[in-house]
Amino acid sequence: MPVIELKGIKREYRMEARRGSKKGNRTDGSSTDTVVVRALRGVDFSAEKGEFVAVMGPSGSGKSTLMNILGCLDKPSEGVYSLDGIETSKSSSDVFAFIRNRKIGFVFQSFNLLARTTALENVELPLFYRRSEKKEKRLDAKGRKEHAMAALEEVGLLERMDHFPSQLSGGQQQRVAIARALVNDPAFILADEPTGNLDSGMSLEIMGLFQELNKRGKTIVMVTHEPELAAYTKRIITLRDGELVSDREPEERRVASDDLARWKKEHSILSGDE
């Protein structure tokens, strides 16, 4: 069974536009027209456990709308979205909240860490709001700490667990954000332009981490506008005008750890370290 399955997903937004006769330089606004914006026009898409998918497309293609639906931040106007066996399209707000907390790990471009809390406390945060499944024991303080430490260890940042975000590099902050996304063991990770605020070296580090997590069986969907980053995934879907127009494997899948080693060597030579 696919982790993610979308069938005939449409999303329409209806807006009222004022229309009326002109009087001098003004419009009297005597009537309104309804303008329909079709952001998604019947998207079919599925992802199996362990896939690493890039979602691409130009501005206005429907990427953000699709991301919001995948993340259960919005509902489709038509169609069916099943996530880890749960049909979400007609779910209640409580079910939506459960899905966002337990089934999806969000990674944002801007990290979204709390400045006055440590790395460990930032990772623990989703566990405070953890929505328990039936017959599941609620985590106590010790359990939350153990879960958060395990997630930090998974991203290679356990030794920095007592550091505040201001004491971490951009790449390290994003690692903390990824650990926070992992801490509830979600069905998949949804990453929105995860390297947008990072330089080239740190971007390669994060893509290397995603590739490593994917090797361990994590399902990842990454929204990006950069073909260079999409080349690190296993599959690329492309949207245009609200339709899925392409679904393919990268022409040449790249290995981020190799590219990072090459980047470090080149910059070491340029800085005169060799």
- pLDDT number for residue 32: 78
CB 96 within 8 A of CB 69: no
- The alpha carbon of 76 is separated from its chain's Cα centroid by a whole number of angstroms, namely 18
At 123 the pLDDT is: 97
Cα–Cα distance measured from residue 222 to residue 236, given in angstroms and rounded to the nearest whole number: 10
Distance, CA of 99 to CA of 119 (rounded, Å): 24
The pLDDT of residue 33 is 83
Contact status, residue 155 vs residue 205, Cβ threshold 8 Å: no
CA-to-CA separations, 127 to 97, 130, 225, in angstroms, rounded: 14, 5, 32
The pLDDT, as a whole number, for residue 239 is 97
What is the per-residue pLDDT for 116? 96
pTM of the model: 0.90
Q: Give the closest residue to 63 by CA, choosing from 199, 174, 191.
A: 191
Beta strands in the chain (DSSP E): 4-19, 22-23, 26-27, 31-47, 52-56, 78-83, 86-87, 104-107, 188-192, 220-223, 235-240, 243-248
Digitized pLDDT (tens) for each residue of the chain, 274 residues in all: 899 999 999 999 988 877 665 555 555 556 778 888 899 999 999 999 999 999 999 999 999 999 999 999 999 999 999 999 999 977 888 888 899 999 999 999 999 999 999 999 999 999 988 866 666 677 889 999 999 999 999 999 999 999 999 999 999 999 999 999 999 999 999 999 999 999 999 999 999 999 999 999 999 999 999 999 999 999 999 999 999 999 999 999 999 999 999 999 988 765 555 4
Close Cβ partners of 22 (under 8 Å, ≥ 6 residues apart):
28
The answer to whether residues 120 and 151 touch, using CB atoms and an 8 Å cutoff, is no
Q: How far is CA 44 from CA 8, 220, 234, 246, in A?
A: 5, 18, 18, 11
pLDDT at 258: 97
